[in-house]
Chain A
């Protein structure tokens, strides 16, 4: 009986929860879902050229090898773009070492929607401001 009452209570609070925080307007929704976001870099610079070349010539056809998200090559490009060549390279070397570690597991990284270890480069920037939101969100 108590369970039923509790159920009704929870149900009614869910039904009555505030979901609108600002006024919204009509939205054209789409039947199409885009499941395949390929890692193509859309910038026109040397790094993007290298990354796209690597993706087309090797990464696309050597299988799904990186357990991380973003994958190591994307991590490399991102970290160099945001932190500069030197720091970015150090961050990538560290990532590579962590990739080699066979014993990494669920305790070390949160799991993303795609079932990969979520490990964005911002976390390794040494600037807590850049990544605090990530830890605040997933708990």
Chain B
């Protein structure tokens, strides 16, 4: 009898061990554990992995904080279109509604499609009551980014904070009338005096060199013809013509490059100005 009992116990314990080996007591992949792990990853800024964890978690459960953070991962990875779409799903029945709406607008703004953004800024239903003026500000900034002319400038500058008004005004006019150099003028100047166009665009040493070299080759050609060296004459004439034409082209190109540099610089300046001020938005991160 006792032997039978022992055998039963032995078998039972064996079975128990087998069962344990099959499953783990602690389910690392249960929704709540996934959420904990995702929150940890989020706090270490590993957004790509966080995305995956939240995505799996959100398949089985709903939690608006998790959804917000999920959208925020897209936002932080500069995948603004996906971020906007995800923030949009938080618009109703959520305590984070207002923040999500504002972040939705910011994401749309940062996609760089300003026409679409301004259309969205017209929909009042989407806009949170508390942040309505912030959306207006963003849409004003979008005009500055694109260098678009505004009809009513006083109303336009009114939305910016008083302390920044003067700077914003100067940025607006800088973007509207950038200090470009005329490509036509550079080309014409070089056509009249070789190298003058390059001096006009600020490449002084290039201009002087062009003047001297073009002049020298032209002189050598004339002098060769005078001494009846026909081949040399034609050769230097050809070189001089190539330098002359190349220099006219180069002057136009250098004005073009100058303008490109200026417009990039202004765009960067404007972008930095508003980005460093966080687009006048409040802190939208959540714990």
The reply, when asked whether chain A contacts chain B directly with Cβ atoms under 8 A, is: yes
Please list the residues of chain A having a beta carbon within 8 angstroms of any beta carbon in chain B: 16-18, 20-23, 87, 89-98, 100-104, 108, 123-124, 126, 128, 131-132, 135-136, 139
Give the distance to chain A from B234, nearest Cβ to Cβ, in Å: 17
Distance, CA A105 to CA B201, complexed state (A): 16
Task: Say whether A135 contacts B261, CB under 8 Å.
Answer: yes
Please list the residues of chain B having a beta carbon within 8 angstroms of any beta carbon in chain A: 44-49, 76-77, 203, 205-206, 209-210, 213-214, 242-243, 245-247, 249-250, 252-253, 256-257, 259-261, 264, 268
Residue of B44, B246, B257, B264 touching A93 (CB-CB under 8 A) = B246
Most B Cβ at <10 Å: residue of A22, A93, A96, A132: A93
Distance, CA A96 to CA B49, complexed state (A): 52
Task: Say whether B242 contacts A89, CB under 8 Å.
Answer: yes
Give the distance to chain A from B207, nearest Cβ to Cβ, in Å: 9
Task: Say whether B209 contacts A126, CB under 8 Å.
Answer: no
Could you tell me the dominant secondary structure of chain B's interface residues?
helix
Assuming the contacts A16-B44, A18-B46, A21-B48, asked whether A94 and B249 have C-beta atoms less than 8 A apart, the reply is: yes
Task: Say whether A100 contacts B209, CB under 8 Å.
Answer: yes
Task: Say whether A139 contacts B268, CB under 8 Å.
Answer: yes
Residue of B77, B247, B252 touching A97 (CB-CB under 8 A) = B247
Residues of chain A within 8 A of B257, CB atoms compared: 123-124
Task: Say whether B264 contacts A136, CB under 8 Å.
Answer: yes
Distance, CA A18 to CA B45, complexed state (A): 6
Task: Say whether B264 contacts A132, CB under 8 Å.
Answer: yes
Task: Say whether B210 contacts A90, CB under 8 Å.
Answer: no
Task: Say whether A93 contacts B206, CB under 8 Å.
Answer: no
Distance, CA A90 to CA B225, complexed state (A): 26
Task: Say whether B205 contacts A90, CB under 8 Å.
Answer: no
Q: Supply 5 further A-B pairs (C-beta < 8 A) apart from A92-B246, A103-B209.
A: A93-B246, A98-B209, A102-B205, A103-B205, A126-B256
Task: Say whether A126 contacts B253, CB under 8 Å.
Answer: yes
Query: What are 29 A-B interface contacts by the 8 Å CB criterion?
Result: A18-B47, A18-B76, A18-B77, A21-B48, A21-B77, A22-B48, A87-B249, A90-B245, A90-B246, A90-B249, A90-B250, A92-B246, A93-B243, A93-B249, A96-B243, A97-B210, A97-B246, A97-B247, A98-B206, A100-B213, A108-B206, A123-B253, A124-B253, A126-B253, A126-B256, A128-B259, A132-B264, A135-B260, A136-B264
Residues of chain B within 8 A of A92, CB atoms compared: 246
Distance, CA A43 to CA B30, complexed state (A): 58
Most B Cβ at <10 Å: residue of A95, A98, A124, A135: A98
Give the distance to chain B from A63, nearest Cβ to Cβ, in Å: 22
Distance, CA A18 to CA B213, complexed state (A): 53
Task: Say whether B247 contacts A94, CB under 8 Å.
Answer: yes
Distance, CA A23 to CA B213, complexed state (A): 56
Distance, CA A91 to CA B45, complexed state (A): 48
Distance, CA A126 to CA B249, complexed state (A): 9
Task: Say whether A93 contacts B242, CB under 8 Å.
Answer: yes
Distance, CA A93 to CA B240, complexed state (A): 10
